[in-house]
Structure 1
């Protein structure tokens, strides 16, 4: 009846390390009226988790001593709500623990598909974020040049493939030759640039001689600077993430080309949250399922095993270890 938990022991002042977490055993929670007790199956690992440690974002900041926050695919094992029954699958904020009691109101019953992990990757937050961020905010047209940073990550790997499916020339930016090889060799990107090698500004000019029409930004910082310098007039920048500033970075650092290039080139920069577009979720799911089913869109996942692997999994994610969506299977 115990509940294994990962606790955020202390808030990091610099880079996140294993010393900032500890493992504890607690009593398994008992659901109150209107709640369900869920067993955590897969915990989603997201770079934004590091930003939560710096203070309030689109959610409250984290405090030392709390169960580490996180979203998970979970199965209902006890219900005190008419909304959900035992055996239902849900995507819920469980935190990093084996069991959680969560409010049933607002939870959506998910279909049982194979593999289940797709509910956290292509049919979950990454897939929908890539879909709406690119198509609704970037508004690419056939023939456009689209550049995606963190292109081997959960969102970037999907956004780049969608751009290609919409008839765009797609250039990915990633760290290391191996990741760049995956982008061009497996995921269909037209070109891939290693920001850790060479001069990114020069490499972008060579790869995008006519400029960048749409830049899907997952990093911020110096990569954003380099892309802004090579945008076409009236280009569009999708502001999806700022991973360069999460782990020991300084919020607002970099981006020296803002606002100069934005003004000179009449650029549009648009930030967004997935919640802005969820009313059109079913339309997005239909198109994503069609692409996956036909083999036109490939899904890359990085699945680790065991609750104890969560701290190292997040640290490695921030260091760029993963290709595709990283998650942890809770055994």
Structure 2
């Protein structure tokens, strides 16, 4: 049987457990030219919250009655004359929160688990890592000597953003929640400074850590943190809007920046980015990031939990901050 998490109702605010229903259905057979993949891990990402809203976005919303959308990785257990994939291949793609998926292979990619473990391919070498790489290099256009500020800095994307900026010769300040995460940023990831938004005044802390202002702000959080960051822009600063996790579960209107005129005064830019726009260059980015990892310059951290039955409790960690690095759920039963 295939355990599947079915999307049952559109949430208002933080999704409750009854947003989904766990069903057990017969495992489907692959048709001609298709493969059956047994999922080992699924990816939990803040973007999943946005996909539940019936609003216009960069990707259509998940429909009621569908398997909850997610990134995934698993092994081909049956191939029905597929032209590219055969039994035993490890594939990553958009398989959803379920234990098995049948696919024609479109938008699925073969990976080598001799080079890196499965969870890393839905983390640092997957969508979060690609988001960090292209967001900070292509949109942020970082250059040596830049002062870079990252929010959500201990998370899957932010932790990679900061490390890439350091590799490129930037001064990097991270914003995270709690003394433990701030210590992690400096002691383990090599950030130059950290701000604990839970215990510090943001404006005061930013003046302390970025006395000369900031050249690049990579925003994963939105809300008040984005607004305060706008007050510290240097001339021709670049702001990358990657996400706004502080706003995703709002029951009222999203809070936008009131200090936006700083963009005008400093001739700065604020640009949104969606990782799918860079899909043709994923392999190049993965190769460079893999090299940095082999050289010990880039650290990867996956926070792995087990059991598809525990999806809701694990999903909530995205918004409570009770995690470090990439949040992953193991769905294969041993």
TM range (shorter): over 0.9
| CA contact 2:237–2:268 (8 Å) conserved in 1 | yes
Quote how far apart the aligned CAs of 1:250 are: 4.6
Quote how far apart the aligned CAs of 1:115 are: 2.0
Structure 2 partner of 1:43: 42
Structure 1 partner of 2:308: 307
Structure 1 partner of 2:162: 160
Quote how far apart the aligned CAs of 1:63 are: 2.9
| CA contact 1:217–1:238 (8 Å) conserved in 2 | yes
Q: C-alpha separation between the residues in 2 aligned to 1:131 and 1:100?
A: 29
Structure 2 partner of 1:112: 113
Bigger mean CA deviation after superposition, 35-44 or 278-287? 278-287
| CA contact 1:42–1:328 (8 Å) conserved in 2 | yes
Bigger mean CA deviation after superposition, 97-106 or 298-307? 97-106
Structure 1 partner of 2:101: 100
Give 1:142-221 correspondences, 5 Å limit: 142-221=144-223
Deviations 1:33-91 (A, max 9, x none): 23211101110000000011112422211233322111100211112222211111111
Q: C-alpha separation between the residues in 1 aligned to 2:43 and 2:284?
A: 24
Q: Which runs of 4+ in 1 moved over 3 A?
A: 249-252
Q: C-alpha separation between the residues in 2 aligned to 1:328 and 1:118?
A: 12
Deviations 1:106-135 (A, max 9, x none): 322222234222111111111111111101
Deviations 1:243-275 (A, max 9, x none): 1121235564232222x1211211111212222
Q: C-alpha separation between the residues in 1 aligned to 2:196 and 2:213?
A: 18
Give 1:193-272 correspondences, 5 Å limit: 193-248=195-250, 250=252, 252-258=254-260, 260-272=261-273
Quote how far apart the aligned CAs of 1:238 are: 1.0
Give the TM-score taking structure 2 as reference length.
0.94
**2:89 is the alignment partner of 1:88:** yes
Q: C-alpha separation between the residues in 1 aligned to 2:110 and 2:284?
A: 18
Residue aligned with 2:283, SS: helix
**2:64 is the alignment partner of 1:60:** no
Structure 2 partner of 1:294: 295
Q: C-alpha separation between the residues in 2 aligned to 1:300 and 1:165?
A: 17
Bigger mean CA deviation after superposition, 278-287 or 211-220? 278-287
Structure 2 partner of 1:19: 18
Residue aligned with 2:235, SS: strand
Residue aligned with 2:195, SS: strand
Quote how far apart the aligned CAs of 1:206 are: 1.2
Structure 2 partner of 1:77: 77
Q: C-alpha separation between the residues in 2 aligned to 1:54 and 1:253?
A: 17
- The number of residue pairs the alignment matches comes to 329
Structure 2 partner of 1:134: 136
Q: C-alpha separation between the residues in 2 aligned to 1:134 and 1:46?
A: 19
Q: Structure 2: which 5+ runs fail to align?
A: none
| CA contact 1:34–1:105 (8 Å) conserved in 2 | no
Deviations 1:282-312 (A, max 9, x none): 3322221121111111111100011112121
| CA contact 1:17–1:315 (8 Å) conserved in 2 | no
| CA contact 1:11–1:63 (8 Å) conserved in 2 | no
| CA contact 1:83–1:105 (8 Å) conserved in 2 | no
| CA contact 1:146–1:215 (8 Å) conserved in 2 | yes
Q: C-alpha separation between the residues in 2 aligned to 1:314 and 1:269?
A: 29
